[in-house]
Structure 1
Amino acid sequence: MQKTIETERLLLRPFRLSDSERVAKLAGDKAIADMTAQIPHPYEPSMAIAWIETHQPAYDEGRSVVYAITIKGDDNIIGTVSLPSLNGGLGVLGYWLGVEFWGNGYAYEAARALVDYCKEHLGLRLLEVSHLVGNERSKSVINKLAVTYVENKVVAVHGRDREVCVYRSEI
């Protein structure tokens, strides 16, 4: 069973199907799709339901771990932090926050907590993370996590080629 993770200001908990409307609302903001490689625009509640339904089976198989980010005292999600790929000690970090929650340090706080938890409990030894070129907020989170820049590469994002900065470090 996936455990809840607590930080100074946040509670990271497993998603529930009842979060799907909120996920669709937050992730459905075009600014989120523009800054992420995996979130389409528009983003519908049915997409959120399908996504949430993948979490527990993937966690049970040790392939990934996904958390809803909430502010302590308020069960409404503000975003997500995850290792959508976890294999042989290598975890690929992903995260997004609703636009209204940007600039408060929540992404770093959640990512740090998840990395520390997965290192201690899930065998995480190597962390990889990337951001689209121009996503300075994500770059700031990665720099605070002290993950080492490796290279830029071009990937297909929403049907077109985009350049991403790739980081990787032992933790």
Structure 2
Amino acid sequence: MDPVTLETERLVLRPFAPADVDALHAACQDEDIQYYTPVPVPYRRADAEREITEELPAKWAAGKNHTFGAFRKDTGALVGSYCLFVVSRGVYELGYWAVREQRGRGYSAEAGRALCDWGWATLDVHRMEWWAMVGNTGSRAVAERLGFTVEGTLRARAIGNDGVPHDWWVGGLLRG
């Protein structure tokens, strides 16, 4: 699938471009992003370059992962990273993180809604899932604002960047 650009009232969601390397690198220095998401630790500039120039374009081309950078229309500042990726046939996961300075302004719910709407309209989706490490209350609040039902907690679901197994919440949003 060819990459697309989406717009909301306050945001432009588009694939990351080489000009975004410094912003992505700076955002991923945040301890919360490094703790709650599967980014490399430490997150080096070379990681941002590889992600933007190699990994994300290949995933878009394969139609398996549609990652967007969300940028404020008024300032052009990076708000966060938002993606839909294939879990199984007809099931996609909504994943996201927000830049520390942009949190608490409703941008993640706005971007998440745009991605869900695009996914329902464009992809063969009957269910969207959301996953977050237990304790990531900001992510959970966004998911619930988007209408996801928290369906349970999976014990020791994944090993975190700290090398320790962590429990994870899972939620679902069904078409219609």
**TM-score of the alignment, normalized to the shorter chain, above 0.5:** yes
In the superposition, relative to structure 1, how do residues 28 and 102 fare at CA in structure 2: closer, same or farther (>3 Å)?
same
Q: 1:57 is matched with which residue?
A: 58
Measure how far apart 1:121 and its partner are: 1.1
Q: 2:6 is matched with which residue?
A: 5
Q: Which piece of structure 1 moves more, 4-13 or 52-61?
A: 52-61
In the alignment, the residues of structure 2 paired with residue 65 and residue 143 of structure 1 have an alpha-carbon distance, to the nearest angstrom, of 22
In the alignment, the residues of structure 1 paired with residue 75 and residue 123 of structure 2 have an alpha-carbon distance, to the nearest angstrom, of 27
The one-character-per-residue Cα deviations of 1:46-69 (angstroms, maximum 9, x if unpaired) are 111222222222222211100000
In the alignment, the residues of structure 1 paired with residue 60 and residue 17 of structure 2 have an alpha-carbon distance, to the nearest angstrom, of 14
TM-score by length of 1: 0.92
Could you tell me which amino acid in structure 2 is paired with residue 156 of structure 1?
I
8 Å Cα contact 2:149-2:171 kept in structure 1: yes
The one-character-per-residue Cα deviations of 1:130-163 (angstroms, maximum 9, x if unpaired) are 1111111111101011112222112211111111
Q: 1:161 is matched with which residue?
A: 165
TM-score by length of 2: 0.90
Could you tell me which amino acid in structure 1 is paired with residue 39 of structure 2?
I
Measure how far apart 1:128 and its partner are: 0.8
Identical-pair percentage:
29
Q: 1:15 is matched with which residue?
A: 16
Measure how far apart 1:31 and its partner are: 2.3
The CA RMSD measured in Å over matched residues stands at: 1.5
Q: 1:170 is matched with which residue?
A: 174
Measure how far apart 1:87 and its partner are: 4.2
In the alignment, the residues of structure 2 paired with residue 113 and residue 11 of structure 1 have an alpha-carbon distance, to the nearest angstrom, of 10
Q: 2:125 is matched with which residue?
A: 124
In the alignment, the residues of structure 1 paired with residue 3 and residue 125 of structure 2 have an alpha-carbon distance, to the nearest angstrom, of 16
In the alignment, the residues of structure 1 paired with residue 13 and residue 137 of structure 2 have an alpha-carbon distance, to the nearest angstrom, of 24
In the alignment, the residues of structure 2 paired with residue 76 and residue 86 of structure 1 have an alpha-carbon distance, to the nearest angstrom, of 30
1:109 and 2:113 aligned = no
8 Å Cα contact 1:30-1:42 kept in structure 2: no
Q: 1:42 is matched with which residue?
A: 42
SS of the aligned residue for 2:104 comes to: coil
Query: Would you say how many aligned residue pairs link Structure 1 and Structure 2?
Result: 170
Which ranges in structure 2 are unaligned for 5 or more consecutive residues? none
SS of the aligned residue for 1:19 comes to: helix
In the alignment, the residues of structure 2 paired with residue 58 and residue 40 of structure 1 have an alpha-carbon distance, to the nearest angstrom, of 18
